[in-house]
């Protein structure tokens, strides 16, 4: 494997720039992650509106059209801002993706110029009297509200989100990363600008640069160092750690009705293991064997043997220490599916699986980790994830841990699971044949 690993440079208080050299791509990739604490709906809503308002215009490119035309001219470079939840941390991310200079048809320095646009959007916003442009803020508040509401359009996502909300009621993990509609209403140009200043001063910042950048490292490092030099950084940045509940309190079954055709079942467990624990690799292999992927027990039995569904799979959130099993099923078959999902889990707990299944599960996981190198976004996320966990490991190092997992470790991981919540989105369309259109 022709990988050089991570080069990490400190450029300010809790600000790091990280390079991973790769010659696989025709593009270079830069992402700036600003990591704070997931606190409440208002803070989440501010982050969501902020990522949108920043993208609307900066001092040198005051309108979205100017930003987009400039990026188009730079051989379709892109700059995107978004926010996401990482356990109980909330991350504001800004990335830039650009064609390598060698493919330019003229003298355009795509790398320099694109970094310039990214820097202007992120660090040189359009501000008047300590406030963002109120017109921009108002439009983006509307867009933020629509984003919150439109989560209902994707039924399996909606069911997952509802399950987690019930399961983690009272925990910060239940906060919607987009905030609530009433939170968005409280935002204005002034308090948003205050918040913007606050996160620049108080949140850890991790920058990743992936691509053919070996002879540009100093240049890029200086450029980013310069960008942050006038920010008064706090000595201690926000604590973005996640509180973990190791053992579930069984909250029983929750059913919600909706005018849809298919029922969506989501079962939430506490895993008792997080990605900071030594036995995390056991949990990953367990999850592969039990429910992720097309050779898992869930696919094999709930779908292939019983023909109950098109999809049935499990997924883990290693930061929060939860696992969810999701399944789209005919309403009348819900109990059958539920029984089979639990039966398969009991089978793994009691060691009822073959050596071949172990090998397959491990190979599947390893295959996935090796693929990290084939996508610049995955490389950046891999190392960001490791940094937040507190220990930098390469995919190869994690693969070594996976290879050591055997039957006993899988059984142990399975037995640490505790059932928390069963959520069922019950489709009612069959009862109301007129609804649902033509």
Partner 1 sequence: MPSVYKTIENKKIEEKYYYINHESGLDIYVVPKNHTSSYALFATKYGSIDNTFKLAGDKDFTKVPDGISHFLEHKLFDNEDGADAFKKYAETGANANAYASFDKTCYLFSISDNGENFDKALGILLDFVTHPYFTEESVKKEQGIIAQEIRMYEDNPGWQVYFQMLANMYKNHSIRLDICGTDESISEITAEILYKCYAAFYNLSNMALCISGNITPEQVIETADKILKKSEPVIIERFKYNEPEGVVKSVTEKKLKVSRPLFNIGLKDCETGLYGRDLVKKSRETGILTEMLFGRGSDFYTRLYNSGKINNNFGAGNITEPEYGYIDHSGEADNPTEILEEIIKEYEDKITNGLNRDDFELCKRQYYAWSITAFDNTSSIANAFIGNLFLGADILDIPEIIAEISFEDVENRLKKIFRRENFILSVVNPI
Residues of this chain that bind partner 1 (CB under 8 A):
1-2, 23-27, 63-65, 68-69, 71-73, 75-76, 99, 103, 105, 139, 142-143, 146, 149-155, 258-262, 293-295, 299, 303-304, 307-311, 328-330, 356, 359-360, 363-364, 366-371, 373-375, 427, 435-438
> Which has the closest alpha carbon to 162: 243, 255, 276?
255
Judging by beta carbons within 10 Å of its beta carbon (0-12, 13-18, 19+), is residue 255 exposed, middle or buried? exposed
**Residue placing its CB nearer to partner 1 in the complex, 216 or 303:** 303
For residue 213, the minimal CB distance to partner 1 (Å) is: 15
Dihedral over alpha carbons 191, 194, 196, 201 (to 10 degrees): -150
**Residue placing its CB nearer to partner 1 in the complex, 260 or 419:** 260
Beta bridge partners of 131: 128
**Residue placing its CB nearer to partner 1 in the complex, 226 or 359:** 359
**Residue placing its CB nearer to partner 1 in the complex, 390 or 437:** 437
For residue 106, the minimal CB distance to partner 1 (Å) is: 9
For residue 429, the minimal CB distance to partner 1 (Å) is: 8
Complete DSSP assignment for 204-226:
EEEEEEEES-GGGHHHHHHHHHH
**Residue placing its CB nearer to partner 1 in the complex, 21 or 171:** 21
For residue 436, the minimal CB distance to partner 1 (Å) is: 7
**Residue placing its CB nearer to partner 1 in the complex, 133 or 206:** 133
- CA 61 → CA 64, 89, 119, 122, 217, distances in Å? 7, 31, 11, 12, 26
**Residue placing its CB nearer to partner 1 in the complex, 65 or 246:** 65
Contacts 24+ apart (CB under 8 A), 228-233: 228/11, 228/12, 228/15, 228/123, 228/200, 229/12, 231/12, 231/200, 231/201, 232/201, 233/12, 233/13, 233/14, 233/15, 233/201
Q: Report d(CA 77, CA 57) in Å as an integer.
A: 16
Which residue's entry shows tokens 């053992």?
247
- Residue 185 backbone phi and psi in degrees, to 5: -60, -25
Contacts of 21 (CB under 8 A, 6+ apart): 4, 7, 211, 212, 213, 214
For residue 206, the minimal CB distance to partner 1 (Å) is: 23
For residue 3, the minimal CB distance to partner 1 (Å) is: 9
For residue 45, the minimal CB distance to partner 1 (Å) is: 17
For residue 330, the minimal CB distance to partner 1 (Å) is: 7
**Residue placing its CB nearer to partner 1 in the complex, 1 or 252:** 1
The strand pair at 204-211 and 15-21 is best described as parallel
Please give the distance of CA 40 from its chain centroid, rounded to a whole number: 18
For residue 361, the minimal CB distance to partner 1 (Å) is: 8
> Which has the closest alpha carbon to 268: 328, 345, 317, 322?
322
H helix or E strand, kind and range, residue 90: strand 89-99
Count Cβ neighbours within 10 Å for each residue of 31-52 and write b for 16 or more, e otherwise. Answer: bbbbbbbbeebbbbbbbbbbbb
**Residue placing its CB nearer to partner 1 in the complex, 215 or 356:** 356
**Residue placing its CB nearer to partner 1 in the complex, 419 or 429:** 429
For residue 263, the minimal CB distance to partner 1 (Å) is: 9
């Amino acid at each position: 494997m022709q990988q050089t690993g991570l080069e990490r440079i400190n450029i300010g208080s809790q600000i790091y720039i990280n390079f991973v050299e790769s010659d696989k791509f025709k593009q270079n990739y830069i992402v700036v992650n600003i990591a704070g604490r997931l606190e409440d709906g208002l803070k989440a809503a501010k982050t969501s509106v902020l990522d949108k308002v920043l993208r609307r215009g900066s001092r040198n490119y005051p309108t979205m059209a100017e930003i987009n035309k400039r990026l188009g001219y730079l051989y379709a470079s892109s700059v995107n801002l978004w926010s996401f939840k990482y356990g109980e941390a909330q991350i504001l991310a800004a990335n830039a993706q650009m064609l390598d200079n060698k493919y330019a048809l003229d003298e355009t320095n795509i790398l320099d110029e694109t970094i310039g646009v990214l820097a202007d959007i992120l660090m040189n916003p359009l501000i008047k009297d300590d406030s963002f442009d109120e017109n921009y803020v108002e439009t983006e508040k509307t867009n933020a509200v629509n984003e919150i509401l439109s989560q209902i359009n994707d039924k399996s996502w909606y069911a997952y989100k509802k399950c987690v909300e019930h399961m983690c009621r009272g925990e910060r993990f239940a906060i919607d990363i987009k905030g609530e509609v009433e939170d968005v209403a409280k935002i204005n140009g002034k308090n948003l600008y205050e918040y913007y200043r606050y996160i620049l001063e108080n949140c850890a910042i991790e920058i990743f640069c992936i691509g053919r950048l070996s002879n540009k490292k100093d240049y890029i490092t200086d450029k980013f160092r310069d960008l942050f030099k006038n920010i008064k950084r706090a000595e201690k940045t926000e604590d973005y750690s996640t509180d973990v509940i190791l053992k579930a309190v069984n909250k029983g079954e929750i059913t919600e009705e909706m005018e849809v055709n298919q029922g969506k079942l989501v079962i939430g467990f506490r895993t008792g293991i997080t990605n900071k624990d030594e036995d995390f690799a056991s949990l990953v292999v367990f999850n592969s064997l039990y429910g992720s992927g097309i050779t898992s027990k869930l696919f094999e039995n709930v779908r292939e043997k019983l023909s109950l569904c098109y999809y049935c799979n499990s997924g883990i959130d290693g930061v929060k220490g939860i696992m969810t099993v999701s399944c789209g099923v005919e309403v009348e078959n819900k109990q059958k599916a539920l029984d089979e999902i639990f039966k398969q889990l009991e089978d793994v707990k009691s060691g009822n699986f073959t050596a071949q299944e172990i090998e397959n599960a491990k190979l599947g996981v390893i295959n996935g980790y090796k693929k990290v190198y084939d996508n610049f976004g995955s490389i950046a996320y891999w190392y960001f994830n490791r940094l937040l966990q507190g220990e930098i490991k390469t995919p190869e190092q994690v693969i070594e841990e996976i290879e050591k997992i055997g039957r006993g470790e899988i059984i142990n991981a399975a037995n640490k699971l505790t059932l928390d919540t069963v959520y069922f989105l019950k489709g009612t369309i069959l009862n109301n044949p007129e609804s649902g259109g033509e």
